[in-house]
Structure 1
Amino acid sequence: MNINMSLKCGECSNQTNCRVGMSNRDVQPLKFSCKKCGTLIGIHVTAKGADTLDNRAIAAFQAGKKPKDVYLNQGVNWTITNASEVGLDGMFDPKLDFVDLHLDFPVVFGSYVPGNTPYMQAVGRSGGRMAAFHRQRLGLINDQYKKYPQVVELISKYTKGFYGPFCDYAKKRFKLQVKSQRMEDINAALYTVVSYYVLPFTLPDDSQALVRKYTGTAVDLMQNKKAAMAAFLQELFDTDFLASLQRDCLKVYKPIFDAELPLRPALFLDVDSTYAAAKTAMRVSSQDFMEYREVYKDMAEVLNRQLVLLAGMGNLIERGDHNAFAVRTSKTGKQLSPASLNEYADVALGNKLHDLDSGWHTIDPLAHDNELRNAIAHNKIDYDDVTQVITYYPKLEGMEREKKREIQLLDYMHRLLALFREVHRLHHLVKCLNYALLIEPGASMVKRP
């Protein structure tokens, strides 16, 4: 169902026509910036029984109800901020600015085309079957999102070491009985909850395959390179690296849950094979970039630390020693490869891939955009909230800023999603090695005080 409305900006009185496509989410906060003055205008929609709204609305239209009566009778209400609603008389005036809005799909601002809604455009780009898959995945988010704060609270109790309250909370909020107070059972309960609630944001088949691969590789190393694997596990234990990295990994879920709204259209790009070649800039109908700019940088730092584990495992596979990197030298003969895993941990993220010579795990290139990460970290980034264009400056240029790059907010959210998925994948490796420290045969390979 779609609602047509016309809004007059509260600051400059510029009038904008809006077509609001209904999501299946019960609360739908939509935003766009006035094209004339940049004021952020909000449309806050509430829809009772949103998942059955389309069928109910069609039945009401067939019964001869007027559009506005249908919206109100079907439990759809909205409030406007920073603008006032202007009565519509017939079709949209083509001389006025026009915006399409929809939480679930990328939108295009420009000219109004009757019937060419964001949903119909999405079906045209992905096909009906894949568009339906996208909506099913968002349906799971709609069912889950009110529980996200409780998932975050469960994670918080775990990371603070409140294991008794953790068990009580798991039972009370998630109806999950923790088998015992042993860490392997507490971990199992934690990851049961996290895996379920993060499922819509991941590629589950890929994750399942990686879990099997990580587990099989770790078991093989413990059986066939026992001394070398024991040395690796011992260093992870002695330095507390694995425990602290696990805590860092668990921190990434809250910002992803918080970014559920602008990630919804980014998730659609999984099924839109035309997006990379699209000539028209597509946009997001919810939050502002400034709320999420630091998330990418922080998540990239977690990936930076995860690559240490990936390198250590790769070195074990290739050379039987987690500290043994392939020798890499400069033209003058200077050794460029790190002398140990500890030294590799201090290598900058942009250079870390040079010393990952094992092909047992490949990093998604979209998840490793070090230039974007550096631009955010050094505040060399600008955002135009009218066009949703992010401009960043990836090079060191002294006082000048000439070599710039531009991406849409939708592109940024897509890259953030790709980075999250990579961090989540490698969190499975953290989890696997953590279990190796807790259960046999790995547990007895480590000397404890």
Structure 2
Amino acid sequence: MGSTKEGTLAARVMRRDPYEVLSVSRDSSDQEIKTAYRKLALKYHPDKNASNPEASELFKEVAFSYGILSDPEKRKQYDTAGFEALDAEGMDMEIDLSNLGTVNTVFAALFSKLGVPIKTTISPNVLEEALSGTVTVRPLPVGTSVSGKVEKQSAHFIGVTINYEQAQCGIVVRVTSAAQSKFKLLYFEQESNGGYDLALQEDSEKTGKVTSAGMYFLHFQVYRMDSTVNALAMTKDPEAAFFKRLEGLQPCEVSELKAGTHIFAVYGDNFFKTASYTIEALCSKSYEDTTHKLKDIESEILRKRNELRQFEIEYRKALAHFQEATNRYSQEKQFVDELLQQRDSIQSSFTVARSIVNTSGSGHYSNGSGSKIPTEDTKGMSPEEEGSSDLKDKSSRKRWFNLNLKGSDKK
């Protein structure tokens, strides 16, 4: 038991600074951090370093560091208080399914089935093929849809070409699966070397009888909901499920597209089987009213999130005060009950009195048990004297009785 604790402590002490691991500065942008992570992930991926056992550990360290710096909230916590702040909140790690063994994949699938949010990374092979530009891109005209099935940890690349008017109005790309398959919707930006660099990703979520994911490029800031944010903290504190709910709202890095061809992909995120999907690209011109409503709702949610942060502070204080008052109530009630019990016990000792019965013509009182209590006339007498006195009384009564009888005979 002691060795386990020592090992855990040693692991915490040996953890390196995430900025150092990714070779980036503390003021690096999100894009710089993302680029550094991808290069290192491809460099140290176990599939490419079968003869180098250290590569696997380095790959995990890179993934762990990116998990901190890619999340605005976790990055802020780390910058403020280091690893201790993250240990207190609990880290939500992303899992690379392509690097899991069969047994671990089964466990991950089971947890996912039970509703435990599990974030998965994209296979390095897919990212490498995209960066090298060796992927096959299927065209998807705006206003149309295409269906397909993608293998697990694989991707189908889709090219959406938009004109200037469509770019000005805004574009929506969405994917649905009637089979409730698990997938990711990806957006790639084109590099100068002809390859594609991952810029956005959306995990599918269950909505009714389908799973879906969407990206919105509407010329204003759009947010996505990350359900895994603070998931561990919420399981420990059910009330946090409400207060932390809007904390999962993360801003999308890209809010508009220019005229030209843009590369999207549907990534199979199922654990064991292929993912069935339908992808479509729409111009938001025909949804102008809906677009304005979305903009208003996004603003309202942000305002409400700020309100909830302040309200949570007030609520926690009020809850602590209520708990304190409740505890005092229980203590006071117990104390009063004990006092009353003591009072009743003392009073009962007075009310249990002996019943006194007076016997006429006798120098004793009976205490109810047949015993005699001496009176003033018999005090100081010996038992023999007391007995003689009793005999005299009986004799006199007898003589008196006999006299009366004789007198009646004479008459």
TM-score greater than 0.5 by the shorter chain: no
Larger RCO, structures 1/2 (Cα 8 Å, 6+ apart): 1
In proportion to residue count, which structure has more strand? Answer: 2
> Larger C-alpha radius of gyration, 1 or 2?
2
